[in-house]
Structure 1
Amino acid sequence: MTNNSSIGGAYMQRQINFQFVLVQLLVSIFLCINLLLIVTFFSKDVFYLTMRYILFAVTLLSDSLILIMSDVVFILAYFHFTMQVGICVIMSIVLLLYIFVTPITLTAMTLERFVAICMPLQHAELCSAHRALHCILIIHALSSMPCIVILSIFFASASHRFYTQDRICSVEMFILRRWHDHVRSAVSQFYFLIMCITIVYSYIKIMKVAKAASGENKKSTWKGLRTVILHAFQLLLCLIQLWCPFIESAVLQIDFMLFINVRYFNYITFILTPRCLSPLIYGLRDEMFFHALKYYALCGLYKKQSSDLVCSSN
């Protein structure tokens, strides 16, 4: 029995070490890809003077920040490092804020496509670079509301001594009462509902325009429709992570080791992977951005082709 326990313990240790290495490898790869996409964004004036590219850059920066912050929390928890609750609160504020920034930005990108296709005469005015700055402020304001609600409940419930305690940093630390979890769930589901309604409404309107269009307009409209579908898929991946804590809480009541495995799977599948794959897919679908990305990814081997494309588009 002792030998079997030792072998089992050694196996679990190897498995946990493999999981840790895998997470660090994925984070490093995804951050490098996002960094390449960000460099590509700043490479051409047309990118940071167009609303849809500006919003795309917001998702890249938001996703990169979440990758870094979540990995820091993961490393601290893996090595059982503790910190004062007050310091953890500051880190968690950033995480809670930018968890919502990406899906709300995707919703804003869907609305931009809706305006471009269904209101083409107003698109230049409503979706200018100047308006994009206002849009970014609105996105962060809307994203801060769930954070304010969750933290307000926490501050009202936690004692002063609680902030000086040393604990392993985790978002679950803010759930001091059972009803706190219900409030967090209600806020997340409300945002999910509003964003889903926005995407479905935009899809239906664009579908009507696509059926009525003809020639080049029809081709452009159907391309916009596929973009909206992609945003819906991206949004679904981002919003699934809002359901992960509820799934993990239910699994924790069944078996602790199953809880660890489910949390690890959720972290890889619904937090790390969408933060890279979704922006990369969007960047590859845009012809102009793809050629600029190819130029930087291949160290300038396609400089002539990408330059010709940008010149022809201008």
Structure 2
Amino acid sequence: MKKRFAQVLGMALATLFVMGQTWAAGSFYVDPNSQPAVWARNHADDPRAAKITESITHVPTAQWFGSWNKDVHAAVSQFVAAADAAHQVPILVAYNIPNRDCGGASAGGAADADAYRAWIDAFSQGIGKNQAVVVVEPDSLAQFDCLKTTDAQDARLNLLSYAVSRLRLNAPAADIYLDAGNAHWTAADVMANRLHDAGIGEAKGFALNVSNFYPTQESIAYANAVNGVLGSRFGYTKPVVIDTSRNGNGSNGQWCNPAGAKLGEPTGDATGQILLAWIKNPGDSDGPCGVGPTLKAGVFSPDLAVRLIEGN
């Protein structure tokens, strides 16, 4: 099965329009203090711990940063320094845009535009000259329509463009990926326009399927469609990072702790065109819903983690 997946992925990648850096196996940082790793260490006698350790804790996974970090500069610096000491590249997610998640399960974010600019300045300065992969503001462009006025939409585009420019300035070795939702959310031509207006011309590429479940091949097809529009309208195309943390069984149409989801291909399958990576932390709840009806968004659940391991 894995061999067949690799063949299909290879054929799909051959159609992607972009070129870029090729990451070597083992390049990415495995955080020994990730939520699954800490839980497994603290519950060594629990039979779920061995499964989580074997299937999840050794896989490089993104670290998310937001308003819960009291000092985001210090938090990012510490994470990046640990990765550097391990001679690995960290994956980070900036998740603090004002009106985050449009008041949904992950509501929050910076209080206003000025607060966000200060926050992204500190975030980017925390990375400094180190290598990193950075996913910028999941859902912020795909949820664009919840911003009811043109002024509010323009303000978001300006903040995303600011984030890209400050990351370029303060973290010049970082690969920046603007989030572009998923393959079944926003029409490719609409998303291409939004990405362009948000400053993707200065970024490495765009991110797909973050915290979602669609098969990798569907994300690749969507990436090709977006790149087709970017190429024809704006004269450039971009690489893509695809979240494979929970897409092993594909999507059943539900986005919030659905039953039957399964771990996907681990972080590190990459070429110059595409990077497969675990952006969502397996076992972290999407919110109080689905098979985790009492779990707040972002809370790690060993039961959710085991469900992803077993695919039930």
What's the TM-score, normalizing by structure 1?
A: 0.24
For the pair shown, which has the larger CA radius of gyration, 1 or 2? 1
More strand by share: 2
TM-score by length of 2: 0.24
**Larger helix fraction of residues:** 1
Q: Which has the higher contact order (CA 8 A, sep 6+)?
A: 1
